[in-house]
């Protein structure tokens, strides 16, 4: 991993951390801000679309995502270093997300279609969706000439999971965007540390 990538990961980490801190402060002082409330009501849906969102949110269950991620890593015989790196990214991001939940105690929206207990900020469904998608992309991008299509699928899945969590009333927009920033920061930091240590 060359010096250019190391610098790139460094700046990405700093930018995402700054954005995460700013958003977390705003969430702390304005837990029910107008944008979150409006987006929550606007995306709130039932009927056929609501049923589709329920299916997506069940597939994106963190336990399921963890099992799929571990299965992918083991099934494709990823080398030990990259295997540990994937697990560090996955469980490290989950640990950070759970820590933020219990530090800020943000209540979930009042209009949940599927009752989800615990605190709201940030969304662990989104955290695991990001790690799973990036693991999938990194693994398969070198095995196909359709890299753009693989990237599209991964990004689409992350967005679908975020939308499903908001539309079912389990999270606010900032819960999902906070999870995105948190996971992006943690993954970039891990990549930067690996680059700095010249392990890969």
pLDDT for residue 113: 87
pLDDT for residue 50: 86
Report the distance separating Cα 142 and Cα 137, nearest Å. Answer: 9
DSSP one-letter code for 100: H
Residue 123 burial (10 A CB sphere; 0-12, 13-18, 19+): buried
159-186 pLDDT, tens digit per residue, is: 999 999 999 999 999 999 999 999 999 9
The boundaries of the domain holding residue 26 are 3-197
The SS3 assignment for 171 reads: coil
Alpha helices by DSSP H, the chain: 3-29, 34-43, 47-59, 62-75, 80-104, 124-140, 147-167, 173-197
| 106 dihedral zone (left: phi>0; alpha: psi -120 to 50; beta) | beta
Asked if the model's pLDDT at residue 198 lies above 70, the reply is no
Report the distance separating Cα 96 and Cα 186, nearest Å. Answer: 9
Report the distance separating Cα 32 and Cα 40, nearest Å. Answer: 11
Helix 147-167 and helix 173-197, axial crossing angle in degrees, nearest 10:
140
The structure's pTM equals 0.90
Please give the tally of structural domains in the chain: 1
- State both tokens at 24: 């977390």
pLDDT for residue 29: 93
At residue 99 the predicted structure's pLDDT band, cuts being 50, 70 and 90, is: very high
At residue 2 the predicted structure's pLDDT band, cuts being 50, 70 and 90, is: low
């Amino acid at each position: 991993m060359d010096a250019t990538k190391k610098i790139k990961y460094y700046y990405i980490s700093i930018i995402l951390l700054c954005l995460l801190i700013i958003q977390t402060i705003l969430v702390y002082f304005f837990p029910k801000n107008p944008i979150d409330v409006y987006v929550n009501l606007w995306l709130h849906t039932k009927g056929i679309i609501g049923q589709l969102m329920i299916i997506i949110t069940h597939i994106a269950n963190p336990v399921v995502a963890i099992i799929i991620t571990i299965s992918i890593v083991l099934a494709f015989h990823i080398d030990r270093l990259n295997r540990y790196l994937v697990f560090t990214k996955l469980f490290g991001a989950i640990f950070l997300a759970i820590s933020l939940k219990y530090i800020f105690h943000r209540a979930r929206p009042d209009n949940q279609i599927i009752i989800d207990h615990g605190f709201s900020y940030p969304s662990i469904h989104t955290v695991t969706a990001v790690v799973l998608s990036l693991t999938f992309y990194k693994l398969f991008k070198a095995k196909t000439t359709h890299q753009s299509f693989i990237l599209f699928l991964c990004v689409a899945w992350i967005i679908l999971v975020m939308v499903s969590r908001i539309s079912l009333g389990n999270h606010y927009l900032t819960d999902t965007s906070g999870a995105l920033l948190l996971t992006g920061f943690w993954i970039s930091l891990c990549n930067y540390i690996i680059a700095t240590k010249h392990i890969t």
